[in-house]
Amino acid sequence: MAEESVFGFIRLRKTTIIPSNMFFLWLDTSSKDFEKFRDQCCTETSVTPYDWKFYDRTDECYQFIKQADSKKNIVLISSGRLGADIINDLHDLSQLHSIYIYCNKKEKYEIWKINYKKVRGVFDDPVQLFDQMCQNLDEETRRSQLNSTSVNDIVPAPKSVAVKIHCLCKNEIKSYCQPNISWFPWQTSSCTTSLPIKGQGTIEIWQHESIPFELRISNKQDPNDNARNSYAIVLKIDTREAQLGTVSAQDGHILRVRDNTTEPHQVLQMDDNHWHCYWLTFYGEHRMIQYGIGEIRPKFKILEAYFEERDKAFIEMDQLENSKLIHPCVMKIWPPGHYSPVHNHGDAYGIIRILHGRLVLKFFPALLINLRQNPPIEQLFEENQVTWMIPKFNQTYQMLNPDMYGSCCITIHCYQYETNDQVYCEHFDFITNDGHHIEHYNCIPDNNYLTFKKIMMMESIHETIV
């Protein structure tokens, strides 16, 4: 591959064009989902935050719709309970364009799709709701353009949308503004110019805000170069599908899909105020490409494809460096059958040794609410065996003493976190027992080792006397 080859090529999907007279109302008792949904809509469509309004009371939303200009097209997103009166009384108003029901009791309100033509769907998943709404508006816009007989009737051009991408380079977050549909955020001094292992490497895409993207590994400066030997390997991710394939000049630069998935937990992740990692690993010797989410390891791959000899590509990647101080250790005692929650240490380095008994560790690709959709890697550790973690590897796991009626398990742990972390305190994010929330915990040891040893000695003496 030529030295000037471009390796980080990203392409956002086409912006959904929304007519300028469209206005969006959200009616619910909580504004949490509204804010995330609105921000995502403003990122992927031509609307702005000024085109949205939130209500938590039916009467106020009712009056707004009733008094609105008849030329305005209002899209209402409402919970089933709060939206009932509005649908019954105002359904036929010309300014009420369409209605989407968003609630947990989906089955209860499915009948509304049959009884009310403006109810476009009932959803309990905000991603599915967003995709369906955008799809409906896209189709309506295209029909409007086809039926237009005058230039003045054509839907206005989309408003400008400023998109900012956050990339992780050598443990430092760098922000880039999108100048156009295609740009190269990795053409910076933060990237190395060669691969440590020729023909083998990994690309990571870290997102704090969910934005559909397309990553191309190309052997040309311009991935759309028409030279006969021009080709690129493509990873395309959006809210509906993840695709792994190739494009080449010989195929007319049309995407040839080699593997794909439409499973919701394997495509673009929801905005949840957490970073999400999408990775693409390639092995030049075996001509194999893999895609996954979360930790980078073959077991957690989602898509896999094998390519012809001409599809080999060599990608630049950073090397991790570490010069942090070692932190003190903590000892943990696991009674029979006891286990930890699924937790993530947040890019820590760590070593765990089994001092006594046995311990089962379940490793997960990422800390996600829909955890059961990602089968873990399970491994049994015996006495004196050791496991470890490094940033982005073995970070998310659960520990369990498998001996329900036998001996306790004793483990010793040593972690290190950020460079400026001079005081030991194990901390992690974990999934709560109900499986619906992710919370943070700072683990403060119960006692130091000498105090603990003294307590154990006293208990031993007391039992001997008795």
Q: State what percent of residues in the chain have pLDDT above 70.
A: 72
Instruction: Decide: helix, strand or coil at residue 176.
Output: strand
Of residues 229, 232, 235, the one with CA closest to residue 247: 232
CATH 3.40.50.2300-classified regions of the chain: 22-153
Instruction: Decide: helix, strand or coil at residue 265.
Output: helix
What pLDDT is recorded for position 424? 47
What are the start-end ranges of the H helices in 74-116? 80-90, 106-109, 112-115
Interior angle at CA 125, CA 119 and CA 126, nearest 5: 80
pLDDT one-digit tens code per residue, 404-444: 888 899 999 888 766 554 444 567 788 887 777 888 877 77
Could you tell me which residue, 204 or 23, shows the higher pLDDT? 23
Least confident of 20-29, 65-74, 372-381, 406-415: 372-381
DSSP string computed for 126-155: HHHHHHHHHHHHHHHHHHHHHH--SGGGSP
154 — pLDDT class (breaks 50, 70, 90):
very low
What pLDDT is recorded for position 221? 64
DSSP state for residue 15 in the 8-state scheme: P
pLDDT at 365 over 70: yes
pLDDT at 329 over 90: no
Least confident of 114-128, 258-272, 323-337: 323-337
Q: What is the pTM of this model?
A: 0.42
What pLDDT is recorded for position 224? 66
* Residues with Cβ within 8 Å of residue 397, at least 6 apart in sequence: 342, 343, 361, 362, 363, 364, 376
Please report the beta strands in 294-435, taking only residues with DSSP state E, as ranges in sequence order.
301-306, 329-334, 343-344, 349-356, 359-363, 377-381, 386-389, 396-400, 409-416, 426-431
Could you tell me which residue, 374 or 342, shows the higher pLDDT? 342
What pLDDT is recorded for position 440? 81
The secondary structure element, H or E, covering residue 230 is: none
Partnered with residue 415 across adjacent β-strands are: 350
Among 170-184, 370-384, 414-428, top mean pLDDT goes to: 370-384
Whether 250 contacts 225, CB under 8 Å: no
CATH 2.60.120.10-classified regions of the chain: 329-457
pLDDT one-digit tens code per residue, 58-85: 999 999 999 988 888 999 999 999 999 9
Q: Return the CATH number of 179-185+197-311, one of 3.40.462, 2.60.120, 1.10.10, 1.10.287.
A: 2.60.120
43 — pLDDT class (breaks 50, 70, 90):
confident
Report the alpha-carbon distance of residue 397 to residue 404 in Å, rounded: 20
Could you tell me which residue, 258 or 274, shows the higher pLDDT? 258
What pLDDT is recorded for position 438? 84
39-66 burial, b if ≥16 CB within 10 A, otherwise e? ebbbbbbbbeeebbbbbeebeebbebbe
Could you tell me which residue, 347 or 354, shows the higher pLDDT? 354
Whether 282 contacts 201, CB under 8 Å: yes
Q: What is the mean pLDDT of residues 87-101?
A: 91
pLDDT one-digit tens code per residue, 446-464: 777 777 778 888 887 776 5
First CA to last CA across the chain, in angstroms?
Answer: 78
23 — pLDDT class (breaks 50, 70, 90):
very high
Superfamily of domain covering 329-457: Jelly Rolls (2.60.120.10)
Question: What value does the mean pLDDT of the chain take?
Answer: 76
pLDDT at 190 over 60: no
pLDDT at 12 over 50: no
Of residues 327, 340, 331, the one with CA closest to residue 424: 327
Paired tokens of 244: 């792994």
Q: What is the mean pLDDT of residues 143-162?
A: 47
Whether 232 contacts 248, CB under 8 Å: yes
Could you tell me which residue, 121 or 287, shows the higher pLDDT? 121
What pLDDT is recorded for position 138? 76
Of residues 214, 250, 210, 212, the one with CA closest to residue 230: 250
Whether 65 contacts 25, CB under 8 Å: yes
Of residues 321, 342, 322, the one with CA closest to residue 429: 342
Tell me the CA distances in angstroms from 412 to 3, 328, 387, one per residue in order.
48, 10, 11
Number of H helices, E strands in the chain: 7, 27
Please report the beta strands in 229-321, taking only residues with DSSP state E, as ranges in sequence order.
231-237, 242-248, 256-261, 276-283, 288-293, 301-306
Report the alpha-carbon distance of residue 319 to residue 336 in Å, rounded: 42
Report the alpha-carbon distance of residue 257 to residue 25 in Å, rounded: 38
* Residues with Cβ within 8 Å of residue 57, at least 6 apart in sequence: none
pLDDT one-digit tens code per residue, 219-230: 676 666 777 777
373 — pLDDT class (breaks 50, 70, 90):
low
Among 132-136, 283-287, 355-359, 452-456, top mean pLDDT goes to: 355-359
What pLDDT is recorded for position 21? 82
Of residues 2, 4, 11, 14, the one with CA closest to residue 216: 11
pLDDT at 109 over 50: yes
Of residues 139, 179, 247, the one with CA closest to residue 12: 179
What pLDDT is recorded for position 407? 86
266: Cα within 13 Å, side-chain hemisphere: 20
DSSP state for residue 384 in the 8-state scheme: T
What are the start-end ranges of the H helices in 272-400? none
Whether 357 contacts 334, CB under 8 Å: yes
113 — pLDDT class (breaks 50, 70, 90):
confident
What pLDDT is recorded for position 222? 64
Q: What is the mean pLDDT of residues 244-270?
A: 86
Of residues 388, 394, 433, the one with CA closest to residue 411: 388
CATH class of 22-153: alpha beta
